[in-house]
Chain A
Amino acid sequence: MPECPYRDPFKEARRKSPVLETEFDGEPVAMLVGHKAVRTAARDHATFSSDAPFRVPIPREEDVRTVRQYPLEVDPPVHAEYRRLIDPFFRRPLEPAYVQRIENLIEELLVDALKRDSIEIVRQFAIPLQSRALTYLLNMPESEAEIWITWGTHVFRDESGVSKGAEMEAYTNSLFDQAESDPGDDFFSALVKARFDGRPLTREEMQGYANIAFAGGRDTIINSVATAFGLLADQPSALIAMRANPKLIITASEELFRFASPVTHLARICPVDTSVHGVDVPAGNLVSLNWAAANFDDSVFDDPEQFQIDRKPNPHIAFGKGVHNCPGAAHARVIIRGLFKKLTEMISAITIVSERRKVEKEADYERVNAYHELTVKLESSASSPDCK
């Protein structure tokens, strides 16, 4: 088996303590790195609060957006009502027709990819897949994806260094204007029609929902898709095994989410002075819930740095834990399972032509998270539609 392309950067810290004292934006952050410590804190919203606009993501986001993100940046009990309003949209991926539509999209993208000598996965495959799939989730015309594709891998922090945050806010504001004058069946119209405790949402709240709908599920899915291609290129046996036994597609998908852990961490704020596993966190300071570190905790996962497509049980927390768990998890699962399914049906080999890894360089660690660029050659399998 080829050398594992990922090394857990939190291994040493976790052996010493479940909490790593580090800093972001020049401020101290108590970073939880043990599986149990992260899980427990994620459920304790009184001690570790999400009522912290712009500060749940790390680094903080005052510079790239003007609205609090809903339902991410509110606490129970009001969180439940904010979450309830959008749940019907985020349950759409459970419908068989939705799964079929995503699989058709992936097949179309792979047919196109096979016509090329090579393909740059991040920009030519993952971004179009993420953006077009999001039109299905939000029930928008697929043509809108053309606009979203131009926002790059990360709306706020694309490698170009240009934030598209203001452009996105202006765009979503225009969608709400349109929905108010001519409501349809899309996500934005649903928010216009919604009642929160009997009152309409404010435009600021609507913008807060739209903001995370675009920003939250973007780099995460793009990074997961690119990591999937990179892993299957490194481990051709995984593709062969999934083809022979399609049941492995399910376990392989969960293992991908664990292994990629595309959201490294999210923050909570301590409303009062708190001792966190012996580390004093003053009121108003941040605690980081490091999902990526938790997902490589060897007290829970055997041989965590190995990508094992049949890993079971696999109690990863790549989608978070507790009431703030990722609303888009079902959508993400449909995309990655569909990708693995179509790759097993259509592709016999993936060869990396060139790659540039994305590295999060922080005060106390460097974490490889997906790719800036991943160019691969795809080889069609005999069962591919092109070869019939």
Chain B
Amino acid sequence: MAKVTFVTTDGTEVSISDANGSLMEIATANGVDEIEGACGGVCACCTCHVKIRPEWLGKVGKAEEAEQDMLDEEDGTDERSRLGCQVELTDDLDGLVVDVVPL
């Protein structure tokens, strides 16, 4: 169990404590705007795109190939981009902050 904060596109901070699962699952279960998770977490869409705050990049780690291919083909992605469905919120990531990217 860990805490994660989603900063939505209008600047609202949505913090969820004692969360587990992927960032996409946590966001959709808590109604975070602009995180849709259309494909349910199999890397077949880009509707859970988030940008990891720089100070967390090392701990979160890099995307694997299927996810990176998806990100490479989306507009508005950069080196902070991850698909929320591919980031599991572990205890190591307690306090994580991510920026939500518009759909």
Which residues of B lie under 8 Å from residue A43 when comparing CB positions? 73
Please tell me if the beta carbons of A254 and B66 are within 8 angstroms of each other in the complex: no
Contact present for B38 and A314 (CB under 8 Å): no
Chain A residues, CB < 8 A from B36: 94
Q: How large is the interface on B (under 10, 10 to 19, 20 to 34, 35 or more residues)?
A: 10 to 19
Q: Are B73 and A250 in contact (CB under 8 A)?
A: no
Residue B1 CB within 8 A of the other chain: no
Give chain A nearest CB distance to B26 CB in angstroms. Answer: 15
Which segment of B10-18, B41-49, B88-96 sits at the interface? Answer: B41-49
Contact of B38 among A36, A251, A322, A330 (CB under 8 A): A330
Q: Does B40 contact A (CB under 8 A)?
A: yes
Say yes or no: A313 contacts B38, CB within 8 Å: no
| Residue pair B70, A253 in contact (C-beta under 8 Å) | no
A321-B44 in contact (CB<8A): no
Separation of A322 and B41 alpha carbons in the complex (Å): 19
Partner of A312, one of B38, B41, B69, B70: B41
**A250 near B40 (CB under 8 angstroms)?**
yes
**B67 contacts A by Cβ under 8 Å:** yes
On whether the beta carbons of A313 and B40 are closer than 8 Å, the reply is no
Residues 31-77 (chain B) with a chain A CB within 8 angstroms = 36, 38-44, 64, 66-67, 69-70, 73
Number of interface residues of A (CB under 8 A): 23
List residues of A (256-303) whose CB comes within 8 Å of B's CBs: 257, 300
- Report whether B42 and A313 are in contact in the complex, using a CB–CB cutoff of 8 Å: yes
Beta-carbon contact of B73 and A254 below 8 Å: no
Tell whether, in the assembled complex, residue B73 and residue A313 are in contact, meaning their CB atoms are under 8 Å apart: no
CA distance A53 to B36 in the complex (A): 32
A316 touches B38 (CB 8 A): no
Cβ contact within 8 Å between B38 and A315? no
Q: Measured between C-beta atoms, what is the minimum distance from B81 to chain A in Å?
A: 16
Determine whether A367 belongs to the interface, using a CB cutoff of 8 Å to chain B: no
Which A residues lie within 8 Å of B41 (CB)? 250-251, 312
Report A-chain residues with C-beta under 8 Å of the C-beta of B69: 36, 39, 315
- A18 CB to nearest B CB, Å: 15
CB distance from A220 to the nearest CB of B (A): 16
Least Cβ distance of A45 to chain B in Å? 13
Cα distance A317–B45 in the bound complex, in angstroms: 9
Bound state CA distance, A260 and B43, in angstroms? 18
Q: Are A311 and B42 in contact (CB under 8 A)?
A: yes
Alpha-carbon distance A301/B42, docked complex (angstroms): 12
List, in ascending order, chain B residues with CB within 8 A of A36's CB: 69
Of B42, B64, B86, which one neighbours A314 at CB under 8 angstroms? B42
Query: By the criterion CB–CB under 8 Å, are A316 and B44 in contact?
Result: yes
- In the complex, besides A39-B69, A311-B42, A315-B43, 16 extra interface pairs with C-beta distance below 8 angstroms are A250-B41, A251-B40, A251-B41, A253-B40, A254-B39, A257-B44, A300-B66, A313-B43, A313-B44, A314-B42, A314-B43, A315-B44, A315-B70, A329-B38, A330-B38, A333-B38
**Which positions in B face A, CB cutoff 8 Å?**
36, 38-44, 64, 66-67, 69-70, 73, 86
Provide a sorted-by-A list of 22 A–B residue pairs whose CB atoms are within 8 angstroms. A39-B69, A40-B73, A43-B73, A94-B36, A250-B41, A300-B66, A312-B41, A312-B42, A313-B42, A313-B43, A313-B44, A313-B64, A313-B66, A314-B39, A314-B42, A314-B43, A315-B42, A322-B73, A330-B38, A333-B38, A333-B39, A333-B40
